[in-house]
Structure 1
């Protein structure tokens, strides 16, 4: 068994003390021998950590003793080597930057669809009400190039801040359809689905847990290629193990683009 446990998790929860949390979380993570990145902002927390299984799970268990983090649900995968070089904890304006301050998932999420349900809909070609189902990739173009759902809508955005304008230019194509937004681990489609609702698009869902949870809970049907991840593994396959990338070029300014 690969000895390094990798987790990704995020939660939109009000953190007015984000700046004070930075040093506390950094000290805990370093003391546990963990490496990775934790982003914290007033809107919540976003984490990618790797280390020994007991240490990683112990860190999360201690964090969840704070009621604000009690509903964290990390997605797990394994590797034979530590995929991160250092332990970073950063305070940001947003844990995933959209530049839309009115989009606040902590105040109410858009409806979510489970991976199992999405697989069933894609197999049938429609949702339970008989509407055609389309998937919308909210990731950056170079991530999409590594793999995506079959026939997914891809607007070739280069950063998530471009998503609102792309949506407004293309939202007519969703009329009469059920649209499921997705990303690597769920964080981007949280904001994307709320924005779509606010823009008057009906029948909008987000994929619960993103691509990684889809890989974990289904056989990966209707998805082709790998899933880009922001660490030295670079891409994961349906079995959540590292796979060779289809494209070796990655834009330099990707440090804060997350799952």
Structure 2
């Protein structure tokens, strides 16, 4: 039986000619028949890829053999099937969109919060002078978060800088930041230090590593992931479900994307309401003419949709795709 793995990783490093690197890296991934999503920028590499155990081994060995990426740490999950449909590798200005592009202010290669290994984080998180800060988006922390964590009302990580003032009351506390795999904390902790916070830490390897090495203790709910698994279990010590159905309020750990592609909102919905609402978040979306067929998963792959003829008389297409969030 063929065995598969899914790899989650990032590395802040300098990549010259990042656009060309992205194009070449895409061909390399395709040669290994990997699927996934990778972001390449001048500041580094951020990706999740999936494939056979052998292909993943070759991929990791090749990446780690490059001196630029020698410090990359891969979080490895064994999966029953590849976690993506296709392979994408794209160049972008940042490997996680924060809007903080001035290296004189924020440069994770030079200064970030103190990295805590999972067991160190677990030992420190319940002390009186500690604040646990979730730097992820609403739909992520609504599905699962650490017990007693401070969460922010943000739709995307790029909204985080605007929320710094709300955290000013914690300046005399130890701030423990966390996110899915650690990449957002690199910039979040650096920004907190820049803004005058003194004791700033981050969970090294994020929630995923914490689940593997510390049993996920006190992480309540499930962890949102950016592939067709949608979410994964983290806590094997004292698990609890905290998320509720958008439509009826019943406790549920199931998160989907709205079947209306023009909405495509991430939200929690129980199976009963999923059937009733046809995978939509509202009655308005349920009656939308472009509503996709709900198969019970709430995960949708690219579906070309014909739109208008362009100036040359050729048919243009747009595509539906659940957005990639770093």
TM-score between both structures, scaled by the size of structure 1? 0.90
Q: Which residue of 2 aligns with 1:162?
A: 159
Structure 2 residue matching 1:64: 3-state secondary structure: helix
Check the 8 A contact 1:2/1:78 in 2, yes or no: no
Structure 1 residue matching 2:109: 3-state secondary structure: helix
Q: Structure 1 residues 99-108 or 85-94, which shifts more?
A: 99-108
Question: Per-residue displacement from partner, 1:23-73 (whole Å, max 9, x unpaired)?
Answer: 221111111110001110011000100011111121121122221011111
Distance 1:239 1:181, change over 3 A: closer
Check the 8 A contact 2:207/2:234 in 1, yes or no: no
Please, which of 216, 221, 224 is the counterpart of residue 228 of structure 1? 224
In 1: Cα distance, 2:5 partner to 2:19 partner: 27
After TM superposition, give the deviation of residue 144 of structure 1 in Å. Answer: 0.6
Check the 8 A contact 1:145/1:246 in 2, yes or no: no
Question: Per-residue displacement from partner, 1:193-223 (whole Å, max 9, x unpaired)?
Answer: 0000000011101110000010010021111
Question: Per-residue displacement from partner, 1:59-103 (whole Å, max 9, x unpaired)?
Answer: 121122221011111001121121101000100000001111122
Alignment of 1:139 with 2:162, yes or no, is: no
In 2: Cα distance, 1:225 partner to 1:59 partner: 32
Structure 2 residue matching 1:27: 3-state secondary structure: helix
In 2: Cα distance, 1:217 partner to 1:59 partner: 23
In 1: Cα distance, 2:42 partner to 2:29 partner: 20
TM-score between both structures, scaled by the size of structure 2? 0.72
After TM superposition, give the deviation of residue 19 of structure 1 in Å. Answer: 1.1
RMSD: 2.0
Alignment of 1:208 with 2:237, yes or no, is: no
In 2: Cα distance, 1:93 partner to 1:137 partner: 24
Alignment of 1:257 with 2:325, yes or no, is: yes
For 1:3-42, list aligned pairs within 5 A.
3-42=3-42
After TM superposition, give the deviation of residue 254 of structure 1 in Å. Answer: 6.3
Alignment of 1:109 with 2:106, yes or no, is: no
The runs of 4+ residues in structure 1 deviating greater than 6 Å are none
Alignment of 1:120 with 2:117, yes or no, is: no
Q: Structure 1 residues 231-240 or 79-88, which shifts more?
A: 231-240
After TM superposition, give the deviation of residue 2 of structure 1 in Å. Answer: 8.5
In 2: Cα distance, 1:158 partner to 1:213 partner: 24
Unaligned runs of 5+ in 2: 242-251, 258-263, 267-320
Which structure is richer in relative contact order (CA contacts within 8 A, separation 6 or more)?
1
After TM superposition, give the deviation of residue 251 of structure 1 in Å. Answer: 2.5
After TM superposition, give the deviation of residue 177 of structure 1 in Å. Answer: 1.3
Q: Which residue of 1 aligns with 2:214?
A: 218
In 1: Cα distance, 2:2 partner to 2:253 partner: 20
After TM superposition, give the deviation of residue 175 of structure 1 in Å. Answer: 3.1
For 1:32-71, list aligned pairs within 5 A.
32-71=32-71
